[in-house]
Amino acid sequence: MSKKILIIDDEKPIRNTLKEILEYEKYQVFEAENGKEGIDKIKDQAFDLVMCDIKMPMMDGIEVLERAQILKPELPFIMISGHATVDTAVEALKKGAFDFISKPLDLNRILVTLRNAFDKNALMKETKVLRKKIVKKGGVEIIGTSKAITEIKAMIEKVAPTDARVLITGGNGCGKELVAKQLHLQSNRKDKPFIEVNCAAIPSELIESELFGHEKGAFTSAVKTRAGKFEQAQGGTIFLDEIGDMSASAQAKVLRALQENKITRVGGDKEIKVDVRVLAATNKNLKQEIADSKFREDLYHRLSVILIHVPDLNDRRDDIAELVEHFLQLVSKEYGNAAKKIDQKAIDALTKHNWTGNIRELRNTIERLIILGSDPIQEKDVKAFVTG
């Protein structure tokens, strides 16, 4: 199928010339005589590339480019202008244009630029597919096709490439850590460290040292200088799990780190610049914690640029059958055995169970059924070995 190209230019002769050239090369050509009409067509139709004039009435080409980047960020743009300056070209490229062509238009330049743009776009799409495959192989795939999980996956895909801070909420064992790992793996920081900190598991008197490090002699057991988790995550992502359990003094220091991108080790006075993306998670209602003066409101607003709520397993029962099959394969592989089969009545019984422990409980249950249940796993096995 031939590529679809949209030409946005207020000069009809230019549109006609380009249309004639491109149709001769077997492209499908669409036209818009101003920026507003161009944006409307980009909203309503799928194009493979846009050629856009810069100097136009009503809406200039740079504004069209900016709006299109929001609507369809992967759509290649080639900017054209008869009033070209180096500054204009640089601005267009910084805004996301693939290339810039000056008028009068040169046929060979146009065709070479189009070919390069399509090659680059194809490469970007292939990279995206490969990245998804790598993410799945990483063992941290989010399993499920329910409406809630589909929306979470779409949100991750949109938010991951940015450096926006994300606050992930949900009950214990519902998969908040998986969401954080996916945000890292689909980000531009994926080749840098992903550092996890369970704020609930670290005593309050040690949390600051854990996060920010300490200097030798800062306290009795500080026999040598130690870098904290923020430094270890340099260039990458730090995941603050169960942040609702963090002490007040640690909250203040985390807030400063977010505001200034600097930390100070315990017992030190030297400021250390850090470049980390901060993801946080909690099973607590932080707004209630704020009302009870247990959590800083300013820190909450710093952390919750994007909010992602992960539903309990009981609220996404449509995913249970798929999760059961996934854990049967995963756990059997860990034990070095062929995966057991499971009959439909057993799946139905698991689907109806009250999963107060969420996905963590389901995984443990499947492991128990693999060890103790028959093959194939039957409804009687579920009744015998599923607790609660």
How many angstroms separate the most distant Cα atoms in the chain?
A: 81
pLDDT, mean of residues 207-224 = 84
Distance CA 301, CA 6 (A): 41
Distance CA 309, CA 176 (A): 8
Q: How confident is the model at residue 230 (pLDDT cuts 50, 70, 90)?
A: very high
Whether 87 has a pLDDT exceeding 70, the answer reads: yes
**pLDDT score recorded for residue 138:** 46
The residue ranges of DSSP E strands in the chain, in sequence order, are 4-8, 28-32, 49-53, 77-81, 99-102, 166-169, 194-198, 237-241, 262-264, 271-273, 277-282, 306-309
Question: What is the separation of C-alpha 140 from the centre of its chain, rounded to a whole number of angstroms?
Answer: 13
Distance CA 118, CA 116 (A): 5
pLDDT in tens, 130-179: 555 444 444 578 999 999 999 999 999 999 999 999 999 999 999 999 99
Distance CA 28, CA 37 (A): 18
pTM, two decimals, is 0.64
Domains located in the chain, CATH noted:
4-129 (3.40.50.2300), 147-311 (3.40.50.300), 314-385 (1.10.8.60)
pLDDT in tens, 3-62: 999 999 999 999 999 999 999 999 999 999 999 999 999 998 999 999 999 989 889 999
Whether 184 has a pLDDT exceeding 70, the answer reads: yes
Q: How confident is the model at residue 123 (pLDDT cuts 50, 70, 90)?
A: confident
Distance CA 198, CA 9 (A): 56
Task: Please give the full DSSP string across 94-126, using - where no structure is assigned.
Answer: HTT-SEEEESSPPHHHHHHHHHHHHHHHHHHHH
247: left (phi over 0), alpha (psi -120 to 50) or beta: beta
Q: How confident is the model at residue 386 (pLDDT cuts 50, 70, 90)?
A: confident
Bigger pLDDT: 221 vs 259: 259
**pLDDT, mean over the chain:** 90
pLDDT, mean of residues 364-388 = 90
